[in-house]
Amino acid sequence: MKSLDNRLTNHHIPVTLGHTMHRRVIVPSRVNIIGEHTDYAKGLALPFAVNHKLELVIKPRQTGFKGDKTVVALWQAAGGYPADLGIVSEIPIGKGMSSSAALCVAIVVGVNPNQDKMTICQKAQQLEHEILNTPCGLLDQIAIVYAKKNHATMINFDDLSIEYLPLPDYWIFKLVDSGIHRQLSEVDYQTNKEFQQLHVDGENKRVIEAIDSNAAKLGKLLNESHESLRELGVSLPAIDALVNELQTTDGVLGARMMGGGFGGMIIALVTDENALPNAIQVTSSGTFGFEEFS
C-alpha cells in the first residue's frame, strides 16, 4: 500500500474512474504530546500519528449498502456509492486515541481520495459533528492526515498552519489505560470561560516551550498540562490519582491525561524503554495509506 504523503502534497490523487474497483484505506491513530482542548480556541497542539491503525475495505455493489450501521450512516452522509463496508481496527474506542476521527477520515478518503488534505480533515470533522454527535475540533483529523514519520506535527489552529518537529530519541512515550471508558458525544464541555482562557493561554506557552525541551523539561510541562486540565474540569478524581501515581513512579519524567477528558489513556514520558513495563510504547508513524485493487 502506498502512503499518500507525497501525492497529497500536490492536492490531487489519480484514481480509477467509476466504482468497479475495491478500495482499502488504512488510517493511523494519534497521540497528543501537549496542547489539549486548544483546537476549538485557535490555540496550538503537538500530536503525532502512531501505529495503531484502522482499516476500511470498500467493495462496490450494484445497489444498497452492507456493513455496520454507524459505518453505513457515515458512508452515506459522505456521499458514498453502494458498497459492502468492512472495518478492522486496532484503535481502542473511548480511550482518547482518535478512534472516531480515524473512522471518519477513512470514510472521506474512501468515498473520494482526490481531495486536498485540509478538505479531508474538515469533511471528516463534519461527519463527527453531524452523524456521531461529537463536538470535536480539528486536532485529531489534522494529526492523522498531515502525519510525518518520526515527526510530531505542531498545529496552529488560528490559521491551520503546520510545522514538523523531528522527534528526539530521548522523548520516549508510553500510554497507560485509565480503565475508564467515555463517549465524547455524552460529555458536557460547558466550563468556566475564564478557566478555559487561562488553560488555553498556558497550553500554548507549554507547546512552544516543548519544542526545544530536553526530556526532563518536557516531563514538567506534561505535569503542568494535567494540572491545568484538572482545573479546567475535564478530569476525574480517579484519573488524577492515577496520574499522580505515575508522576511519582521511578523512570517517569511526566504524565498527563490525554484526549477529550473524563477517561481514556494517560500519556507518560519515561527515561527509557524499561520504565512502566506494562504500558504501551508508542512511536511516530506516517500518514494514512490508500489503494485500489480488483
207-216 pLDDT per residue, tens: 999 999 999 9
Residue 162 contacts residue 145 (beta carbons within 8 Å): no
Are 46 and 152 within 8 A, CB to CB?
A: yes
**Grid coordinates given for 181:** 471508558
Tell me what the mean pLDDT of segment 212-241 comes to: 95
Whole-number Å distance between alpha carbons of 294 and 20: 8
Identify the pLDDT of residue 9: 33
Name the pLDDT band for 119 (thresholds 50, 70, 90). Answer: very high
Confidence of residue 1 (pLDDT cuts 50, 70, 90): low
Of 196, 93, 101, 184, nearest in space to 135 by CA: 184
Q: How do strand 22-34 and strand 2-3 relate by DSSP bridges?
A: unpaired
Q: Which domains does the chain have, with CATH numbers?
A: 2-164+283-293 (3.30.230.10), 167-282 (3.30.70.890)
Asked whether the predicted pLDDT for residue 186 surpasses 50, the reply is no
**Grid coordinates standing for 50?**
502512531
Please report the pLDDT score of residue 6 as a whole number: 35
d(CA 254, CA 80): 44
- pLDDT of 49 strictly over 50: yes
Model confidence, pTM? 0.89
CA 43 centroid distance within chain: 16
Tell me the mean pLDDT in the region 14-29: 77
DSSP state of 159: T
Distance CA 147, CA 142 (A): 8
Q: Is the pLDDT of residue 41 over 50?
A: yes
